[in-house]
Structure formats: structure tokens, C-alpha cells
Structure 1
Amino acid sequence: MLKSLFNWRVLLNILLAIVVFVGLVWLTFRWLEYHTKHGQETPVPNVVNKSVYDAVKILEDTGLDYEVDSATYDPKYRPFQVLKMSPSAGSRVKDGRAIQLRVNPRTWAPVAIPDVINKYSGLAFQRINQVGLKIGDTIFEPSIQKDAILRVLFKGNAVKPGTLIPRFSTIDVVVGSGPMRNISIPNVVGLTVKEARGVIARSMFEVGLVEHEDGSKDESDIIYYQDPASGDVRDQGMQMDLWASKKTPAELNAKIEQLNSIYRMKVDTSLPPVRYEEVHNYPAPQEVAPVVPVPVHKTEPVKTEPKPAATKPAASTVEKPKPSTSSTGNANTGSNNKSATTNTPQQPAQKPKAKKVVVE
């Protein structure tokens, strides 16, 4: 066994195998050195803060490749300025190695306009500010959708939700200000249904019921009746009902009269106009009878002078009229004075108003 192992032929085969293995390993490393350019390294030039055009030219002249990637826009740097590079400047790399460049973009990345159509303006403004857009002019337009966003304008043109525009751009919004009042109803009798729809839309009304005489839905049918009638006034957004037929309105007089009896209210002008008076909630003030002033006789204060002892106090003193020259007059005067003195307490209304009574 050992003799066969140390046979010269066996030893020769082992030696040849070792030589072949070593030769293959040497050739492999030589090929790798040639293919990978072992020992041939190139220093990476510094292209930070340079424009991307200058950086690319420098790398190409050095024999290096490049890959450009944009970063988030930063207004502190110039557009297309190189902000960062990898590997860093001064590193040694093989020829043809790709150097990654981070470049400041020309402007902000575009953002999509949010879907705020028909939304309440207060919430819509918050959503627009959140995506990084600014609101310029707020244009109010008559609409039944009060305080709702009707359109979004960018540079004067209407844009749809989802349109990409630069960030921090200024957009204008059209907001509904409420319906217009007292708009005259247009006359669409004699027009086709398609033409009537356009006229009604331009007059800021809506199409309501459209009844075709033959039951079809042909847009070329002619309108022979409408409600409300032309010339009436309505608010914006009110519906207009239409009756259409393939016949002309002159051929449908009976049908028109029937519709007039239903939709046209006749006013009897022979009756007197009704007067409406405002009724107050509070009761009307009661009339107070005027107070008749009662004449009050002013009496003088009572005088308390000492009376003579021989004089009898009198209850009242009445000023007597002067006696007449005739005897008959004297007698009558005396009797009249006596009766007046006697009847004074019982008949105060017969006192002469010119007399003055002093009570002591």
C-alpha cells in the first residue's frame, strides 16, 4: 500500500495537480487586477455648491460617472445647486465609479389642487392652506349654493381638482353669494326642448318637468306651454316646467286653454281692493272725560278783632243796596232785604255773585 503511494507516477500526478492549481489562482488574481484596475484609484473632486452643469462636466473630465437626484426645494440655495455628494469629496474610487449628487430643484415640488368644489368656504380655505397654496381673490357670484366654492381659478383660468401647480402658488376662488331675487322668466314657447334648456340655464333657472305629448323624450320637440309664464319674476334656481309636442303651439289651442285653467289664476278686478289695517297687540287707550273745573269761592281769613261788649255778634253781614228816594221803593227794599237775610242759609245759589260774605 505504501509502496504504491510513493510510486513516482503518483507523485508526478500530485505535483502536476499542484502546479495547475497554483497557476489557475495566479491567473485569476491577475485577471481581477486587470478588470478591477487594482491600485488605480481616482480622487473624488469637490463639486458641492456648484451648479449641476459644472459638476457633471468636472466628473466627466475626471473619468467618473454620476447620478443626479433632486432634494426638497430650499429657497436658501440657488436652483440646481449641488447640496450633497456621495462618496464625499477627497475619497479615492475606481475609474467609472458613479457619484451621487443631491441637487436643489428649480422651485417647489408641484401640489395637487384639493377637491373643494361645492364645499363650505370656511373648510375649503383650511384645506387649501394645508396643501401649501395661497388664496388670492374671493369672487362672489349669485348661486343657490350660498357660501360654497363654485370654481377654482389659477392665473384666470378654471382648473379642476387634482391639477398639479407649483407649491405656494396663489389661486382665486369663486364663492356663491346666494340666489338672485326677482328674475324675469324667459319665454321659451316655440323653441325646441334642447334650445329651451340652454335659455333656461343662461337665465339662472332650472328645468323641472318636461312632458312630451306623445310620451317620447325627443329633444327636438317644440315647447307649446311653460309654467311659470314668461314675464313673471322668480328667484334664481327655481324650476320651469315645460310641455312639448311635435305640433306647433297654434295647433294645440285646446290643450293650452286646459293648462291655463290649471296653472293660470284669474284675478277678478271688479271686486273692491281689500284694505289691510295693522292691529296692535296692546289695548287702545281709553278716552277720559274731560274734568270740568268747579268754581271755588275764595274766602278771606277770619279776623279775630275784639268785639265791644254792648254790640251783639252778627252771624253774617250782607251789604245792603242803597235806598231809593220814593217811599214805595223804601218799603219794598226793606221787605226784600229782610227776606234775603232770612233765606240765605236755605238758598245759597240765589246769592248775588258780586256780594262778598265775611264770616267772623
Structure 2
Amino acid sequence: MLKSLFNWKVLLNLVVAIGVFVGLVWLTFRWLEYHTNHGQEIPVPNIVNKSVHDAIKILDDTGLEYEVDSANYDPKYRPFQVLQVDPVPGSHVKDGRTVHLKVNPRTWAPIVVPDVINKYSGLAFQRLDQVGLKIGDTIYEPSIQKDALLRILYKGNAVNPGSRLPRFSMIDVVVGSGPMRNISIPNVVGLSVKEARAVITKSMFEVGLVEHEDGGKDESDIIYYQDPASGDVRDQGMQIDLWASKKTPAELGAKIDQLNSIYRMKVDTSLPPVRYEEVHNEPTYAPPPVPKKETPKPTPVKTEAPKTQSTTPKPTSSGTEKPKTSVSNTNQTSGNNTHKPAATASTPAKEPAEKPKAKKVVVE
């Protein structure tokens, strides 16, 4: 057995097999070195802050592959400027290695318009500002949705939620200013239900009860009655009730009269209008009671009997001569009048004293 192992033929075959194996390994490594350019490295050029067109040209000349990706827009750098390189400039890589470039885009990346339609304007403005949209003009439009955001305009065109706009774009918003007052009700009698709905919606009113004569819901039925009537004034947003039928309004005269007796009440204006006067009830204060004065009782007056004075009988003359007054008596009377003090302006005037009666002197 051992002799057979050490036979020269066996040893020769073993040596040949080992040689073939070593040769195959050496050839494999040589092929790998040639295929992978082992030992041949290329330094990454410094292309930071260059334009992306210049950077691509340099990488093509050095035999390096490249991959361009946009970074977040930074207004401090030029558009399409290379901001970052991976691997870093100066490192050695093999020929054909891919180099990743981060480039500043031309402008801000587009953003998605949020769904803020029919939302309260205060919350809508806050949401639009958060995503990076700037609000320009605020346009107010009559609408029953007061202070609600109705539309978003970009360069005069309406923008739907979900559309993409450049970041920090200037947009205009349309906000509802509330319903208008005292608007004339449109006339929809003679129109189909579908046409009446469009006219009422266009006038900023709402469709209320729609009663079909046959109990169906055919939108092609003709409107033969409406409440409120056309021409009446109402605030926008009020409901308009409709009565529809397949017949024409001329064929439904009795039904229309019946509805008029219910919804068209006549007001008698022949009586004069009642005037209401405001009555102010002011408080009255009664004067304090005045104490009554007691009137003194009259005292009885004692009357004295007149005293009889004795007079001497005077002789009467037989003749018809009139008695004459003496001169001395006249002078005495005149003297008494001259010595009487006169009333002055400062003292009150006194009643004139009675003149003394002239004494009768009988001359014998």
C-alpha cells in the first residue's frame, strides 16, 4: 500500500495537480486586478461652489460617474450651485466610481395647496402661512357663509386644493362678506324644477320644500307656484318653497287660488293707522297739609244808651232873615286852616279832616 503511494507516477500526478491549482489562483487574482483597476485610484476633484454644468464636465474628464440630487433651496447661494460632494473632494476612488452631488435648485420646491375652502378665514390664513404661501389681496364677496374662505386665486386663476405652487408664492383669497339684504325674489314660475334650482342658487337663495302634485320627484315638472312670491324682498340665504306639476299653471287655477288664500294673506288698509303715543307717568307730589287757622269767635258788643244832652231852647226870630255868621268866626276858621300842616311827599297822605260846622249866631 505504501509502496503504491510513493510510486513516481502518483507523485507526478500530485505535483501536476498542485501546479494547476496554483496557476488558476494566480490567473484569477491577475484578472481581478485588471478588471477592478487594482492600485489605480483617482482623486475626487474639488467641484464645490461650481455650477452643476461645470462640475459634470470635470467628472466626465476624470472618468468618474456622477449622480445629481437637489437640496433644499437656499437663497444665499446661486441657482444650480454645487453645495456638497460625496466622497469629499481630495479622496481617492477608482475609475468609474459614482460621485453624488447636492445642487442648490433654481427656486423653492413646490408645495401642496391645503384644503381650506369653506373654512373660517382666520384658521385658513394661518394654515396657508404655515405651508409657505403669502396672502396678497383679500376680496370680499356676498355669500351666506360669512367670514368663510371661498376661493384661492393665483395670478388671477382659481387654484384647487392639492395643486402645487412654488413656495412663498403670492396668492389672493376670496372671503364671504355675509348675505345681502332686501334682495328681490326671482320668478321661477313656468320653469322646470331643475332650472328653478339653478336660478335660485345663482341668486344666493336656497331651495326649500319642493312639492310635486303627483307625489313624484321628477325634475322636469313645471313650477306653478312659489313662496315667497316673485318681486318680494328677502335676505340672501332664505328658502324658497316650490310647487311643481306636469300641468301648466293655467290648468291649475283652483289650486293656485287655494295656495293664495294660505300664503297670500290680504291686509285691509282702509282703516286709518293706529297712532301710538308715548305716555310718561311723572310722579306727582302732594303739597304738605296746611294747618287750619282757628277764627276767633266774635265777642258781643255792649251797646250803651245814648245820653240825652240838655239844650237850652233857642228863641226863634219872627222874621225870615237868614242867620249870618260873624266875621270873627270866619276869620277864626280861616286862621285855623292856614296853620294846618300840609302833607309832604315822604309822609303818607292823610284823610282830609272834616271841616267844622259853622256855628249859627242868632242876632237879636
TM-score category by the smaller chain? 0.7 to 0.9
Q: Report what 1:196 is aligned to.
A: 196
CA positional deviation for 1:80: 0.9
- What are the equivalent positions in structure 2 for 1:214-293 lying under 5 Å apart? 214-278=214-278, 283-286=281-284
CA positional deviation for 1:288: 7.9
CA positional deviation for 1:326: 6.4
Whether the 8 Å contact between 2:82 and 2:101 is mirrored in structure 1 is: yes
- Measure, in 1, the Cα distance between the counterparts of 2:40 and 2:79: 35
Residues 272 and 21 (structure 1 numbering): CA distance in 2 closer, same or farther, change over 3 Å? same
Decide which of 348, 352, 357 is 1:322's aligned counterpart.
352
Q: Report what 2:296 is aligned to.
A: none
- Measure, in 2, the Cα distance between the counterparts of 1:90 and 1:190: 86
> Which segment drifts farther, 11-20 or 34-43?
34-43
What SS does the corresponding residue of 1:327 show, helix, strand or coil?
coil
Return the TM-score normalized by structure 2. 0.77
CA positional deviation for 1:2: 3.5
User: Residue 134 of structure 1 aligns to which amino acid in structure 2?
Assistant: K
User: Residue 130 of structure 2 aligns to which amino acid in structure 1?
Assistant: Q
CA positional deviation for 1:270: 2.2
Q: Report what 1:314 is aligned to.
A: none
- Measure, in 1, the Cα distance between the counterparts of 2:278 and 2:115: 52
What SS does the corresponding residue of 1:256 show, helix, strand or coil?
helix
* RMSD of aligned alpha carbons: 2.1
Q: Report what 2:24 is aligned to.
A: 24
- Measure, in 1, the Cα distance between the counterparts of 2:109 and 2:73: 7
Residues 230 and 34 (structure 1 numbering): CA distance in 2 closer, same or farther, change over 3 Å? same
Larger radius of gyration: 2
Residues 59 and 278 (structure 1 numbering): CA distance in 2 closer, same or farther, change over 3 Å? farther
Does structure 1 residue 64 correspond to structure 2 residue 74? Answer: no
- Measure, in 2, the Cα distance between the counterparts of 1:149 and 1:4: 102
- Measure, in 2, the Cα distance between the counterparts of 1:253 and 1:22: 116
User: Residue 321 of structure 1 aligns to which amino acid in structure 2?
Assistant: E
Where does the alignment leave 5 or more consecutive residues of structure 2 unmatched? 288-347, 359-364
- Measure, in 2, the Cα distance between the counterparts of 1:120 and 1:278: 46
Q: Identity over the aligned pairs, expressed in percent? A: 80
CA positional deviation for 1:12: 1.5
Q: Report what 1:154 is aligned to.
A: 154
CA positional deviation for 1:219: 2.1
Q: Report what 1:187 is aligned to.
A: 187
- Measure, in 2, the Cα distance between the counterparts of 1:284 and 1:152: 62
Where does the alignment leave 5 or more consecutive residues of structure 1 unmatched? 290-317, 329-360
Task: Tell me how many residue pairs correspond in the alignment.
Answer: 298
Q: Report what 2:79 is aligned to.
A: 79
- Measure, in 1, the Cα distance between the counterparts of 2:181 and 2:279: 30
